[in-house]
Amino acid sequence: MDYEKLTHVMRELALVAGDKIMEIYGRDDFEVKSKSDDSPVTEADEAADAIISAGLRAAFPDVLLITEEQAATHDMQADTFLIVDPLDGTKEFVHRRGDFTVNIAYVENGVPTRGVVYAPAKERMFYTLADGSAVEEDGPFEKTHAGTTRAIRVAESDNSALMVVASKSHRDQATDDYINKYAVQDSKSAGSSLKFCLVATGEADIYPRVGRTMEWDTAAGHAVLHGAGGKVVVFATHDPLVYGKEGYANPFFIAYSPAVELKTP
C-alpha cells in the first residue's frame, strides 16, 4: 500500500462526503428510513457512501472494500481491506446534535492501521499520517492539501482521577456499572467515533462500550487511537480487538490510554 496516497485519498474523500452530509443536514427536512435492524438511514448516509466508495474503488481497485451501506452484499472476508462508515452517528444526525462522523479506515492483518475521522458539524478532523502516527488538523479544511496538523497523544492518565467518555445514544446500566469500578473525576458523553478521538487526544482516558457495534463503526477511530498510542481490547478478555470477523460484528470492548489500570468486568 502507498500510505502517502492512502492518507491523501481518505482525507479528501472524507471532506467531500462531509460537504454533502452538511448540505443535507442544513435542509428543513430530509428522508429517514429504517434498515432491517431498525436502525435509521438517511439520504446523507447513502450519498456519502456513493462518494467514498467511488473514490476508493478508483484509487485502490485491488483492495477489498467494505461499507456499512453495502453490508448486505458483502460475502467476502479478508484480513486486509478498506472499511467505511459514511455517516457514523445517524441518530445524532437525525436529532441534529452534531456528533456524527465520516469514518474511513484501512485494516492490515486484522488491525486498523490507517484511518480518518471527520466530524463536519464539529469542524474536527483526525487522521493517521503515512507513518501511522495520528494528528488533528486545524480548519478551515482545504480538500487538495492539508493545513496545520498537530500530533496527538493519549493522556498520561491519573488512575485516581480518570476522565471517562461514553456513548450519548447507547449508555446503559451495564456501562455505568463498569465505569463505577474506576476512580472517575468526570465523565462526558459523545456520539459516534468521536469517543475514540477524545481518548486519542488525551481529552478522555477510557471509553468502555458495552453494546453492539460493527467493524465499520470502530475501525477509523481505532486506527487514530492506535496512532496516538492507545489500545482497544475485548471487554471480557482484554485481548486485542481484531477485524475481519465473520459478519463484521464486534464484541464489547474498551478503548483506553495504556496508563489506565484496566478493571475486570
pTM of the model: 0.94
Mean pLDDT of 183-193: 91
Please check the confidence at residue 168 and state whether its pLDDT lies above 80. no
> Residue 40's pLDDT is what?
62
Between strands 101-108 and 184-190, the pairing is unpaired
Please check the confidence at residue 38 and state whether its pLDDT lies above 60. no
Contacts of 155 (CB under 8 A, 6+ apart): 163, 202, 204, 205, 257, 259
Chain-centre distance for alpha carbon 239: 20
**CA–CA dist 97, 252 (Å, integer):** 25
241 annotated as ligand-binding:
no
Among residues 168, 57, 145, 169, which one has the least CA distance to residue 104?
57
Please check the confidence at residue 184 and state whether its pLDDT lies above 60. yes
- Please give the share of the chain, as a percent, with pLDDT higher than 70: 93
Query: What does the block give as the cell for 15?
Result: 471532506
Q: Which domains does the chain have, with CATH numbers?
A: 3-151 (3.30.540.10), 162-256 (3.40.190.80)
**CA–CA dist 88, 102 (Å, integer):** 6
138 annotated as ligand-binding:
no
Query: Mean pLDDT across the chain, nearest whole number?
Result: 92
Please check the confidence at residue 26 and state whether its pLDDT lies above 60. yes
Query: ∠ CA(116), CA(121), CA(124), 5° rounding?
Result: 40
Cβ–Cβ under 8 Å, residues 124 and 102: no
Reported as half-sphere exposure (CB side, CA atoms, 13 A), residue 258 has a value of 9
Judged by average pLDDT, the poorest of 26-35, 38-47, 202-211 is 26-35
Among residues 57, 107, 98, which one has the least CA distance to residue 221?
107
User: What tens digit of pLDDT does each residue of 64-95 get?
Assistant: 999 987 776 666 778 999 999 999 988 888 88
Whose grid coordinates read 483492495? Answer: 63
- Please give the share of the chain, as a percent, with pLDDT higher than 90: 77
39 — pLDDT class (breaks 50, 70, 90) = low
Among residues 112, 93, 110, which one has the least CA distance to residue 102?
93
Please check the confidence at residue 145 and state whether its pLDDT lies above 70. yes
| Helix (H) or strand (E) run with residue 82 in it | strand 81-88
> Residue 78's pLDDT is what?
85
Chain-centre distance for alpha carbon 122: 14
Among residues 37, 47, 119, which one has the least CA distance to residue 71?
37
First-to-last alpha carbon distance for the chain, in angstroms, is: 38
Q: Estimate the crossing angle of helix 3-25 against helix 43-59, to 10 degrees.
A: 160
User: What tens digit of pLDDT does each residue of 195-247 get?
Assistant: 999 999 999 999 999 999 999 999 999 999 999 999 999 999 999 999 999 88
> Residue 30's pLDDT is what?
77
Mark out the alpha helices in 26-162 (DSSP H runs). 43-59, 90-94
49 annotated as ligand-binding:
no
**CA–CA dist 257, 181 (Å, integer):** 16
Please check the confidence at residue 110 and state whether its pLDDT lies above 90. yes
Specify burial of residue 75 (Cβ count, 10 A radius: 0-12, 13-18, 19+): exposed
Whose grid coordinates read 462508515? Answer: 85
Whose grid coordinates read 476512580? Answer: 183
87 annotated as ligand-binding:
yes
**CA–CA dist 64, 71 (Å, integer):** 13
Mean pLDDT of 25-35: 76
